[in-house]
Amino acid sequence: MKRLLALPLLSLSLSLHAAIPAAPTLEASSYALLDYDSGELLAASNPDQRVGPASITKVMTAYVVLEEIRQGRMKLEDTAFVSEKAWRQGIDSSESRMFVQVGTRVPLEALLHGVITQSGNDASVVLAEHVAGSEEAFAELMNQQAARIGMKNTHFANAPGMPDPQHYSTARDLTLLGRALIQSFPEQYKWFALPDYTYNGITQPNRNLLLKKDPSVDGIKTGHTSEAGYCLLASAQRDGRRLISAVMGTKSWAYREQASLELLNWGFRFFESAQLLGPTKPAGTVKVWKGAAGEVQVGTLKPVAITLPRGEAARVQASWQQEGEAIAPFAAGQKLGTLTLTLDGKLLRTEPLVALQDVGKGGFWRRLIDTIRLWFA
């Protein structure tokens, strides 16, 4: 059974839209621009090229620690011991240190601020050793989380982001990391917008100067090594819509900010996103057999986000195909068919069509009558 819905949808496929200006030409080794809601790349250049992530690595370092806290294996108020190795990592990194003192204990919350705002290499190693016993073991946790997030071309070898042949990521993967961070830890993500942080009597500013240049920017992290160049993973939110950009391998700190802002401005100007369907926006109803209810609403349990050029006419068609009969009992979320989005006959995407409510087993007579009817259906 195939049904067509008249929904105000627009196309995801950029090649099907009316022409829009090309993305900015950036002097960077690679870049990617991601729509937060839909997860679609709006623009990219060499998005899967392996590059050194430099201190953007610390986003994953913070992510792993926050996940350990969420799982109840530690608390923000716990303290971590500063080893000589961690302390020396700070001494050897004059511009990227929290100034922790060897032999002391520092609260995890302070260390996270030291990683996020102060970009402390020393703080990163303290956290790694506290969580996993060694930086090498911590890197394994980082890679496990990277795989779970879907970072297919990423491998971490250390917590601060020091150059290493086995330490690499891509512009696309880093935007996925930024998205996962914001989705998983919305409260702690606010720390990435703090203008400065003071520890041990030393106040250091956030290196992400876009925070001052554009009030819509609220993160995420800068990075720089001689091998990686100047890099910036940024995110901004305007009118309830969020974009995430990763600009890698530029020649100066000033240009990485200019390039990131050009990319974000272009994405906000020429694209928009819409939240469609979801548990409160059913696609329709299907007949239920042998159930306590005669029909059930169908749709998607989560909103379907779609990204589109701004101002494009609503020409997308949504249709759904029921797969077999809906025979009770079944629970909300059970797949009953497939939802298809098309534009001018071209497939854009498909989504599972599921029951939006539980339907219990009907009474004896209802089941008997429907059994007979199904023989002739």
Give the residues across from 350 on adjacent strands. Answer: 340
Let me know: does 118 contact 82? Beta carbons within 8 Å. no
pTM for the whole structure: 0.88
Q: What is the pLDDT along the chain (377 residues), one digit of tens a residue?
A: 555 443 433 333 334 445 789 999 999 999 999 999 999 999 999 999 999 999 999 999 999 999 999 999 999 999 999 999 999 988 877 679 999 999 999 999 999 999 999 999 999 999 999 999 999 999 999 999 999 999 999 999 999 999 999 999 999 999 999 999 999 999 999 999 999 999 999 999 999 999 999 999 999 999 999 999 999 999 999 999 999 999 999 999 999 999 999 999 999 999 988 777 888 888 889 999 999 999 999 999 988 887 878 766 466 677 889 998 999 999 999 999 998 877 677 787 899 999 999 999 999 998 899 898 889 87
Listed in order, strand segments (DSSP E) in the chain are: 2-9, 30-35, 41-45, 79-81, 105-107, 196-199, 202-205, 217-225, 229-238, 241-250, 271-276, 284-289, 295-299, 304-309, 316-322, 326-327, 335-343, 346-355
287 is in an annotated binding site: no
Residues with a catalytic annotation lie at 55, 58, 119
Long-range contacts of 365-368 (CB under 8 A, 24+ apart): 366/290, 366/291, 366/292, 367/290
CB atoms within 10 A of CB 134: 14
Helices (H) and strands (E) in the chain, counts: 10, 18
Give the residue carrying structure tokens 């100034």: 99
Nearest alpha carbon to residue 262 among 65, 25, 40, 90 = 25
Nearest C-alpha neighbor of 161 from the set 174, 152, 172: 174
Q: Specify the pLDDT at position 119.
A: 97
Q: Which domains does the chain have, with CATH numbers?
A: 2-13+276-376 (2.60.410.10), 28-250 (3.40.710.10)
What is the structure's pLDDT at 15?
Answer: 41
In this prediction, residue 303 carries a pLDDT of 85
